[in-house]
Structure 1
Amino acid sequence: MFKKKCVQLGKVPTSILLTPDDSFHSFGKTAEDTYGEKCSNGERDWKLFKNFKMTLYNASDKKTTRDLVIEDCRGNTISAITLFTLMFSHLKSAFVKQLEEATKGVPDDWIRWVITVPAIWDDSAKQFIREAAEKAGIRKIILALEPECAALYCGTLLQGLRDTLKNQALRIVGPGSRYILLDMGGGTVDITAHEVSRDFTYDELFAANGGPWGGENVNIAFQEYLCEIFTKPVFSEFCKVHTEDFYDLMGAFEQKKRTFEARMVQENKFVVIKLPYYLGKDFPLNTPMDLAVKEHDKLKIPAKHMMGFFNGTLDEISRHIKNKLKTEELKDINNVILVGGFSVPNIVKDRLKEVFPENANFYCPENSEVATLEGAVLYGQSQIHTTYEKSKPRSITPSINSRRSRFTYGMDSHVQFNPTKHPESKKFRDGDEVFCKDYFWVLLRAGAKLSRDKKGTMRTFTMDKDSTTLDVVIYKTENPSPKFVDDPGCLRLGTLVVDMTEGLGIPNREIKIGLQYNDTELNVYAINNRDEIVKTTFDLLA
């Protein structure tokens, strides 16, 4: 059930322009246009940073740190935390200015900020984005997972549909339904699945996952194709000297990308795009016709090459989905929701139809490109309603009831040595006792159901009377049953530092370490023998 025509709402590109002295100048399309003008005027010391959000995406064996740097279009670098803080400072100022124009005198503590993040971001990336926002003076922050926001938007959208469409959509996203949702953006593709309860609360069926398979990969493939035609030095020089023309070219390609269909390959058609003068004049006369054709100021791209721009990315997405469909969690699910800018091209929809069973029902909501934005508002409201029960609206508002843990979390510990379970290399003595070192003490397992009151297993430590702090190293892995913290795939996540100054001098003090997911963020905490929360710090970015 795809909607053929939707109201198009413009999205602002994640681009920041800095002056030569690294001061903030502009954001979004304004930044790109201004940068193009500066380059055309020979002012090449301005710095444009594009699509920098993707720098926070990490593979399972890496994490984000405070010393992360980001490169601009020319290879100049800046601290990532500085760049993100500049972005949040601008967004805050812009919002507060518009708010003041509409309503005077709104206190800062009345504003709750919702920041959306891809579901496949790890815990260090989430802490990084929160820290950058707080440096920009933003308080009362809620981090919302993008596919969950899109799901809430789809559930709420039902209430405004006419009966015929509503009945169709209810079978896909209504109470009792189970669906898989693909949030396909420019950088990443997030995949999640939910079961919808009668009260429109959503339970996640498996931990959201995905990869760096967004629409920007198609743009990169197109640029590599142009390098093949014009040579890399010529195309690179064009991008540097005629930056405005380059952005116009990529904007035109974006429109062609949205309307491209697979049938154009069988019909031997061309995708026609206007070439900027300063690139077109260097078109090689000996270019094979099956690679590209130039007619006047138009570049004619054979449809087979246009298909090739998509193939690598769509192959990755298809392979991942096929593997997920084999799991027990997705057995018999035939409802599919597509949201995000990369879900708009017809070729993407057609390829996804080939992956799912023939009887699959597809739902592409109106304004699917901004489903996450719309849903973020709903997510923020749902958090307020949960906190303040009296403020609950009379109409049913969809909300997230439970999630699944993406990782197994635990700590480095030691246990009594068991020769039938533990290798000799892990054996050590402490007095008369024999222990196994590097033991992965599990606090929370991958795939575990996470609800608001879900807490992991606790671990008790006995401290001597002179200790002022307790340092506990937390590890993570995708393996639901790890044995040791140095197993392949185990990553040191961060160190929990527990303040032990209270009770100093008292022998055999006990402290319990636990783990909990507070909605979308990991929380590791400590409790003393009086069941009181003890002051801790948990730094994931060191």
Structure 2
Amino acid sequence: MTSSRPFNPNDYPVVIGIDFGTTFSGCSYSFVHNDEVVDIVKWPKQNNNVYPKTPTLNFYQGSSNQMAHWGNAARLEMLRPTARNSVLLKQYKLYLDENIAKDLPPLPNGLTIVDAIADYLHAFHEHVVSELRKGFARNYGQHQFRYCLTVPAMWSDRAKSTMREAAIKAGLIEENDHRDRLMLISEPEAAALYCEKKCEQYNLGHNDQFMICDAGGGTVDLIVFRIDERSGRKLKEWTKGHGQSCGSVFLDRRMRKLLKKKFKEYLSSIPASAFETMMDTFVDLIKPQFDGVEDQFISLPAAMNLESLNNPAIGLEDGTLCISAAELKQEVFEPVIKEVLALIEDQLMKAGSMQAIFLVGGFGSSNYLFDRVMEDFGSRVGLVAVPPRCELAVVRGAVYFGLNPRIVTTRIPRYWYGIDTTTSFEEGIDPPNYKIVRADGSVRCDNRFSVYVWRGRPLDIDNCMSKDFFAYYPHHTTCTLYAADTEEQPRYITSPGVRKVANFTIPMPELTGVMEGEKVDLSIKMYFGEVELRVEAVIRGKTYGTTCTFDTD
């Protein structure tokens, strides 16, 4: 067991930000000494002037569990006739959202979610390193790179831990590297850092509040930040951020449904590739620029195999399908956009007042979303804006965070965190089966939830909760951490909504002059103000890292 050694950022002159997204992934980097952020815009098998990110896709040949292609190459491979029985893995990041994962089928080819993410990140990272080598980074070795990965704000501690595990398996960092060599930051927080950098043109100052609405492929995340200029410019998270899986892939799903409804009598004869071509038109052309006013047209691919190129009942004329703006609004856009507007309303109510709303992310650049946010909130908020290159806001912000991890000073926890303790028994309140009568006659209540962190109460990033325990030498100590996202503080670890988060094992170090069975005092320190949970143990004045097993129920 190693004691926690201090981290030296100067060992890592290159900071790499990675935005692993549901539909697209991106990367930017910077050299510590000059602060300029550079985007990776060249991706394999891809026309690079369309979009600066690459698809999050893995291709597996047949039933193999060895990834053969990734990114746009995976998409192209799937179009070949030889790919008939192969697997194109997409939108698998949603498996880390526990609310959705329970309804998803198991991954194919015996893959686990860690395998899938690690396969992709490994290939993605190799390409990034080769791009860096072409530039000024050729003077540095890979051991001098430091990473900042973005994660949705609504992810659980377990999902974040899975992401770290996948990054290690992908070879970004080594298992025994200092944990700060790989940092995680929440996506809206990264976007906030980017928008704050661009704030000069928006004229936001001390105590002003702004909302980030980070609308991506899978998730929409919102957080309100307050600017604090008392000692340099810092950001404080002002509301307990909120997110939902209502990103733009849900527009795609509704569009697919609408097309299937229109072509229902031809479905048996239309090849899948023709359907995908129509969907590509929607994703690339209609979705980003749809304004809710103009009707939209899709030219049918030649492979549709239709007997006639006209069918007025579904809007088909001379091989072109017309879909009215009203129909697109009602069937595709409004149901998803309404969810986003409800999320914004909720954050606005909590924050009280707001100087600006910034829309970022791929879906954040949708014209229709902007118009609807303006319509509903333009009169209540001074500014609704889409910052330049908003689809890169998250990944550029990740680099800013890597360069200055202390720029966000306060975060708001989304859960109650606590451990299992016994406290004095209260007759008439505590259940009789939780009653313990000790040898000294004292009456205690078992299974009580002892709060470490209060949900919704602002936490300083250095906030450390320390509790004292003891162990008998040379036995290890284990401590179970529980969490709940209930409105009320839970009384018991068995209360509704309370779940086990993790078991922490504090291995007993070798201590000289200590007899077997002797009592050793130790403190367990938990840091909750960072993006990831961090736990340390202090034994006889020395600090040790702990091993943590996340619960997998």
Tell me the TM-score normalized by structure 1: 0.83
CA–CA separation in structure 1 for the residues paired with 2:297 and 2:523: 66
Of stretches 255-264 and 140-149 in structure 1, the one that deviates more from structure 2 is 255-264
Match of 1:272 in 2: 297
- The residue number in structure 1 matching 2:365 is 344
Out of 331, 340, 347, the residue aligned to residue 324 of structure 1 is: 347
| Conserved 8 A contact 1:182-1:338 | yes
What is the match of residue 429 of structure 1?
Answer: 437
Give secondary structure in 1 for the equivalent of 2:464: coil
AA matched with 2:142: D
Equivalent position SS for 1:453: coil
Q: How many angstroms does 1:467 deviate by? A: 6.4
Given that 2:74 and 2:88 are in contact with CA atoms closer than 8 Å, whether structure 1 keeps it comes out as yes
Q: Hey, what does 1:267 align to over in structure 2?
A: none
Aligned to 2:185: 144
Does the C-alpha gap of structure 1 residues 358 and 535 become closer, same or farther in structure 2, counting only changes over 3 Å? closer
- Give the Cα separation in 2 of the matches to 1:498 and 1:17: 41
Q: Post-superposition shift, 1:88?
A: 1.5
1:469, distance to aligned residue in structure 2 (A) = 2.0
Distance 1:133 1:535, change over 3 A: closer
For 2:196 and 2:132, how far apart are their aligned partners in 1?
Answer: 28
CA–CA distance in 1 between the matches of 2:266 and 2:525?
Answer: 56
Which of residues 233, 237, 252 is equivalent to 1:219? 252
Q: 2:282 aligns with which of 253, 257, 262?
A: 253
User: How many Å separate the matches in 2 of 1:84 and 1:516?
Assistant: 27
Report deviation, 1:283: 7.7
Q: Hey, what's the Cα distance between the residues in 2 that align with 1:236 and 1:412?
A: 61
Deviations 1:17-42, CA, capped at 9 Å, x for gaps: 122333222221221012112xxx24
Q: String of CA shifts for 1:57-103, please: whole Å, max 9, x gaps.
A: 1239x899xxx9853xxx65522111111112112211222223334
The equivalent of 1:50 in structure 2 is 90
SS of residue paired to 1:228: helix
Q: Distance in 2 between matches of 1:113 and 1:58?
A: 25
Could you say which residue in structure 2 is the equivalent of 1:162? none
Instruction: Tell me the CA shift for residue 437 of structure 1.
Output: 1.3
1:132 maps to 2:174? no
Judge conservation of contact 1:478–1:489 (CA < 8 Å) in 2.
Answer: yes
Residue of structure 1 equivalent to 2:452: 443
Distance change >3 Å, CA 194–CA 535, structure 1 → 2: closer
Name the CA shift for 1:296/1:108 in 2 (closer, same or farther; >3 Å).
same
User: Is residue 157 from structure 1 mapped to residue 178 from structure 2 by the alignment?
Assistant: no
Q: Which amino acid aligns with 2:484?
A: T
CA distance 1:535–1:98, change in 2 (3 Å): closer
AA of the residue aligned to 1:249: M
Q: Does the aligned pair in 1 maintain the 2:503–2:551 contact within 8 Å? A: no
Deviation per CA, 1:428-462, whole angstroms, max 9, x where unpaired? 33333321111101111112323232112x33334
Residues 1:282 and 1:197: Cα distance change in structure 2 (over 3 Å): farther
What amino acid is the match of 2:281?
A: A
Whether the aligned pair in 1 keeps the contact of 2:535 and 2:545 (CA below 8 Å) is no
| In structure 2, distance between residues paired with 1:501 and 1:236 | 69
- Report the alpha carbon displacement of residue 125 of structure 1 after superposing the two structures with TM: 0.9
Partner of 2:7: none
Asked if 2 retains the 8 angstrom alpha-carbon contact of 1:475 and 1:492, the reply is yes
2:503 matched to which residue of 1?
Answer: 495
Contact 2:209-2:226 at 8 Å conserved across structures: yes
The one-character-per-residue Cα deviations of 1:478-517 (angstroms, maximum 9, x if unpaired) are 1352111111111111111122364562444333333213
Measured after TM superposition, the shift of residue 534 of structure 1 is 4.2
Three-state SS of the structure 1 residue aligned to 2:528 is strand
Find the residue that maps to 2:461 and give its secondary structure.
Answer: coil
Partner residue of 1:300? 322
Quick one: structure 1 residues 420 and 512, their matched pair in 2 at CA, closer, same or farther if it must change by over 3 Å? Answer: farther
Contact 1:499 1:535 in 2 (8 A): no
* 8 A contact 1:69–1:79 mirrored in 2: no
Q: What pairs up with 1:114-513 in 2 under 5 angstroms?
A: 114-139=148-173, 140-158=181-199, 166=201, 169-171=202-204, 174-198=205-229, 199-231=232-264, 234=267, 238-239=271-272, 242=273, 245-254=274-283, 255-264=285-294, 270-279=295-304, 281=306, 289=313, 292-307=314-329, 308-327=331-350, 330-356=351-377, 358-360=379-381, 361-383=383-405, 399-419=407-427, 421-431=429-439, 432-456=441-465, 458-463=466-471, 465=472, 468-479=475-486, 481-500=489-508, 502=510, 503=514, 505-513=516-524
CA distance in 2 between counterparts of 1:362 and 1:51 reads 29
The answer to whether the 8 A contact 1:428-1:437 is kept is: yes
Q: Which residue of 520, 530, 534 corresponds with 1:519? A: 530
- What CA deviation, in whole Å up to 9, does each residue of 1:155-176 have, x standing for no partner? 22346xxxxxx2xx113xx444
CA distance in 2 between partners of 1:448 and 1:63 (Å):
30
1:298 is displaced (CA, Å) by 1.0
The code of the aligned residue for 1:517 comes to F
Looking at structure 1, the residues matched to 501 and 300 of structure 2 have their Cα atoms a distance apart, in angstroms, of: 49
Aligned to 1:104, the other structure's residue is in SS state helix
Q: Do the aligned partners of 2:239 and 2:347 also contact (CA within 8 Å) in 1?
A: no
Is residue 14 from structure 1 mapped to residue 14 from structure 2 by the alignment? no
Q: Distance in 1 between matches of 2:394 and 2:545?
A: 36
Letter in 1 for 2:528: Y
Two-structure CA RMSD over aligned residues (Å): 2.8
1:199-246 alpha-carbon deviations (Å, 9 max, x no partner): 22100002222110100100000111122122399279622xx2xx44
**Matching residue within 522, 526, 543 for 1:533:** 543
Give identity over the alignment, percent: 24
Instruction: Tell me which amino acid in the other structure corresponds to 2:506.
Output: V
Deviation for aligned residue 1:371: 0.9
Contact 1:497 1:537 in 2 (8 A): yes
**Aligned-partner Cα distance in 2 for 1:430–1:114:** 50
Structure 1 residues 33 and 70: CA distance shift in structure 2, 3 A: farther
For 1:367 and 1:17, the matched residues in 2 are separated by 29
Relative to structure 1, the CA distance from residue 422 to residue 232 in structure 2 (aligned partners, 3 Å threshold; closer, same or farther) is farther
Q: 1:212 to 1:128 in 2, by over 3 A?
A: same
Whole-angstrom CA distance in 2 between matches of 1:310 and 1:501:
59
Tell me the distance in 1 between the aligned counterparts of 2:319 and 2:312.
18
Is contact 1:334-1:357 (8 Å) kept? Answer: no
Partner of 2:516, secondary structure, is coil
2:32 — aligned with what? none
Instruction: Give 3-state SS (helix, strand or coil) of 2:254's partner.
Output: helix
Q: In structure 1, what is the equivalent of residue 44 of structure 2?
A: none
CA distance in 2, matches of 1:284, 1:274: 11
Please list the CA deviations of residues 504-537 of structure 1 after superposition, one character each: whole Å capped at 9, or x if unmatched. Answer: 6244433333321363110123333x34334521
Q: Which runs of 5+ in 1 are unaligned?
A: 1-6, 160-165, 265-269, 387-398
**Number of residue equivalences:** 485
Residues 1:86 and 2:86 aligned together: no
Opposite residue 91 of structure 1, the aligned amino acid is: F
Change (3 A) 1:235 1:22: farther
Q: Counterparts of 2:326 and 2:356 in 1: how far apart (Å)?
A: 31
Q: Quick one: distance in 2 between partners of 1:207 and 1:504? A: 48
Q: What SS does the corresponding residue of 2:83 show, helix, strand or coil?
A: coil
Closer/same/farther in 2, CA of residues 261 and 273 from structure 1, 3 Å limit: same
Structure 1 window deviating more from structure 2 (108-117 vs 422-431): it is 422-431
**1:365, CA displacement in angstroms?**
0.6
Q: Residue 60 of structure 2 aligns to which amino acid in structure 1?
A: L
Instruction: Look up the equivalent residue of 1:324 and give its one-letter code.
Output: Q
